[in-house]
Amino acid sequence: MKRRKLATRALPTVLLLATLLASAPAVHACGLENPSSVNVGLLNLAYPNALHVRTAIWIAQRDGVLAPFDAAAMVEPQSPDFLLRQMSLLRGIQGQFAALKAGMDASGAREVPAFSVVLLGVVLWTRFEAGDTGLNMTVHAPGPGGDDVVVVTDAPVIAALADGRLTPAEARRRGLMRTYGTVQGVQGVERFLDGVASVKSAAAERFVATMTDRIRTD
């Protein structure tokens, strides 16, 4: 109570912002707990024009490049089944990333710089780092590593990449995915991802099928 009073007296210009945050815990591991506009908004400053991805996505949805927008999938944080729905969403995303990772491993991942993918809608971070036996993947990471290349995109794009309906190059061309980092890092990650797209492996397809079945039975 005291903190709130202090905050509202102290910085009225961000009152609305404080309102958005007031209902959530002070520390958020990621947007899955608090998918507030502030997290997304500040990403637009940290990664210039990251919000352009969101616009590119609805245009792609409108044009049939991506699956249509599903308003019913949007659940407000105050909803009783919010966490349940978010967990289900997370499982789906994990499955899609796992499928992508299978393709990445198959294409040889030793040389790729570490990179992190952030999904705009839920501000969910997934980190990839080359390891001895392939890529190490951490879904729901606390954030990007210090020197990571950052890929900004969203769940519908990951879904389309995972099932091979879209290539990373096409996603970038359409603005569905933007890459941030050093020139060398960005080139390295983009080259790597483009290589993955061309080897949509049987292993990846099997993985998708497995994960899909698992999600359905959950």
Partner 1 sequence: MNKRRFLTMSIAAGLLLPAFGAHAQDAGAPDKAKLEKAFPAKPNFSPYAGRNFPTMPLFGDTHLHTGFSMDAGAFGARLTPRDAYKFARGEEITSNSGQPVKLSRPLDFLVVADHSDGMGFFPLLMSGDPTLLATPQGRQWYDLIRGGKGGEAALDIIRSFGQQKLPTGFPLPGTPAYRNAWGETIKAAEAYNEPGRFTAFIGFEWTSNTGGNNLHRNVIFRGNGTQAALVEPYTTLPPFGSDNPVDLWKYMAATQDKTGTEVLAIAHNGNMSNGRMFPMVEAFGKKIDREYAQNRARWEPLYEMTQTKGTGEAHPFLSPNDEFADFELWDKGNLDGSVPKTRDMLEFEYARSALKIGLRLEDVLGVNPYKFGMIGSSDAHTGLAAMEEDNFFGKTAPQEPSPERMTKVFFADPKTGVKVMDWEVGASGYAAVWATENTREAIFDAMKRRETYATTGPRMAVRFFGGWDFAAADASNRMPAAVGYAKGVPMGGDLAKAPNGKAPTFLVAALKDAIGANLDRIQVVKGWVDKDGRTQEKVYDVVWSGNRKPGADGKLPPVGNTVDVANATWTNTIGAPELITVWKDPQFDPKQRAFYYARVIEIPTPRWTAYDAKRFGVKPLPETRMVLQERAYTAPIWYTP
Burial 134-155 (b: 16+ CB within 10 A, else e): bbebebebeebbeebbbbbbbb
Site for partner 1 in 128-157 (CB under 8 A): 142-144
- Cα separations in angstroms, 9 against 6, 24, 27, 128, 191: 5, 20, 21, 43, 51
Least distance (Å) between residue 112 CB and partner 1 = 21
All residues at 6 or more sequence positions from 90 whose CB lies less than 8 Å from its CB, including other chains: 32, 124, 139, 140
Which pairing describes strands 134-141 and 149-153: parallel, antiparallel, or unpaired?
unpaired
Applying CB under 8 A, which part among 49-57, 97-105, 131-139, 160-168 lies near partner 1?
49-57
Output 66 or 102, the one with its CB closest to partner 1: 66
* 6: contact with partner 1 by CB under 8 A: yes
Least distance (Å) between residue 170 CB and partner 1 = 18
Least distance (Å) between residue 198 CB and partner 1 = 28
* 71: contact with partner 1 by CB under 8 A: yes
Applying CB under 8 A, which part among 26-34, 100-108, 129-137, 155-163 lies near partner 1?
26-34
Site for partner 1 in 166-205 (CB under 8 A): 175
* 80: contact with partner 1 by CB under 8 A: no
Query: How many whole angstroms separate alpha carbon 91 and alpha carbon 187?
Result: 30
Beta strands in the chain (DSSP E): 115-119, 124-131, 134-141, 149-153, 178-180
Least distance (Å) between residue 66 CB and partner 1 = 12
The site map against partner 1 for 86-125 (x = CB under 8 A) is --------------------------------x----x-x
Of the chain, the end-to-end C-alpha distance in Å amounts to 40
* 209: contact with partner 1 by CB under 8 A: no
Q: Over 43-89, what HEC string results?
A: HHHHCCCCHHHHHHHHHHHHCCCCCCCCHHHCCCCCCCCHHHHHHHH
- DSSP-derived 3-state class of residue 111: coil
Output 174 or 200, the one with its CB closest to partner 1: 174
Q: Which residues bind partner 1 (CB under 8 A)?
A: 3-24, 26-28, 30-31, 34, 36-49, 51-56, 58, 61-62, 68-69, 71, 74, 76-78, 118, 123, 125, 142-144, 175
